[in-house]
Amino acid sequence: MKKLLTLAAIVFAVAGCSGQNSSEATAPVNVKSLAGDTTVPVTLPAAEMAQYPQKGHAIARNYAQQPPLIPHKADYPITLKRNTCLSCHAWGKAERMHATAIPKSHVIDDNGTLNGRNYSCNQCHVPQASNKQAIVGNGFGE
Ligand code: HEC
Ligand code: HEC
């Protein structure tokens, strides 16, 4: 008898945990958009994809000390742990990857150790892409 009771207790306990009570209706969730009932009047097509030059063709510089433009896509990740730009541009890798090695101005020793100040490459180097969008005017040098 005692065994039977224990068994019954276990069965009830398990049934209690099994989520069988979920048949109780849950209250509907009313999510209200910040825009209220405003409908979207126009949907624009996605912007044209940027077209980057082929790798291997550096873009002519316009003035001395200009950080050269990146002649390829520039979404290679630069994170705290890894700078993927260096997998092609680091000393010792650049020649094999047919890329220009980072210049002496970017390193702190004779082994090509990158100066921490130059870690965020895209802070100075930007990619050049031909886009189909209207070009923004520029009065540099005028
Ligand atoms: C897969 C290899 C590869 C990776 C990764 C890579 N590059 Fe390049 N990069 C090249 C090649 C090849 C060229 C063209 C040859 C040259 O001018 O160095 C080039 C050219 C450049 C140039 C032009 C150099 C010049 O003298 O005009 C810059 C600047 C540059 N890359 C910056 C970057 C930056 C910043 C990153 C990371 C966001 C990066 N690259 C990632 C291969 C790479
Ligand atoms: C603080 C700005 C700055 C940062 C950050 C920076 N660069 Fe530069 N970079 C320059 C300037 C300015 C030049 C051109 C003058 C020179 O060679 O020092 C240059 C030149 C280069 C060149 C051409 C070298 C040559 O011999 O013609 C390459 C390649 C390059 N940088 C890659 C990189 C990569 C890769 C990173 C990130 C690891 C990086 N740079 C970070 C400013 C920067």
40 φ/ψ angles, rounded to the nearest 5 degrees: -85, 115
Q: Is 105 in the pocket of ligand 2 (CB under 6 A)?
A: yes
Residue 35 pLDDT:
81
pLDDT tens digits, one per residue of 121-130: 999 999 888 7
From atom 42 of ligand 2, which residue's Cα is the shortest distance away? Answer: 67
Distance (Å) from CA 71 to ligand 2 centroid: 13
From atom 1 of ligand 1, which residue's Cα is the shortest distance away? Answer: 88
Residue 57 has a CB neighbour count (10 Å cut-off) of 8
CB 56 within 8 A of CB 98: yes
- Burial-class residue 107 by CB neighbours within 10 Å (0-12, 13-18, 19+): middle
Tokens matching residue 105? 């101005």
Domains belonging to the chain, first-starting first, are: 51-131 (1.10.1130.10)
Give the residue-averaged pLDDT of 114-122. 96
pLDDT tens digits, one per residue of 5-29: 554 555 444 444 444 455 567 888 8
Residue 15 pLDDT:
47
> Is the model more confident about 115 or about 25?
115
CB 69 within 8 A of CB 128: yes
Residue 132 pLDDT:
67
Residue 12 pLDDT:
47
Tokens matching residue 68? 């050269």
Give the residue-averaged pLDDT of 93-117. 96
Residue 38 pLDDT:
81
Distance (Å) from CA 61 to ligand 2 centroid: 12
Distance (Å) from CA 99 to ligand 1 centroid: 6
Cα–Cα distance, 18 to 29 (Å, whole number): 24
Residue from 59, 61, 70, 124 to probe ligand 1 pocket by mutation (most atoms less than 8 Å from CB): 70
Q: For residue 121, what are the contacts with CB-CB under 8 A and spacing of at least 6?
A: 78, 83, 85
pLDDT tens digits, one per residue of 39-96: 888 888 887 777 888 777 888 999 999 999 999 988 899 999 999 999 999 999 999 9
Nearest to 70 by CA among 45, 88, 82: 88
Amino acid identity at 76 = Y
CB 94 within 8 A of CB 84: no
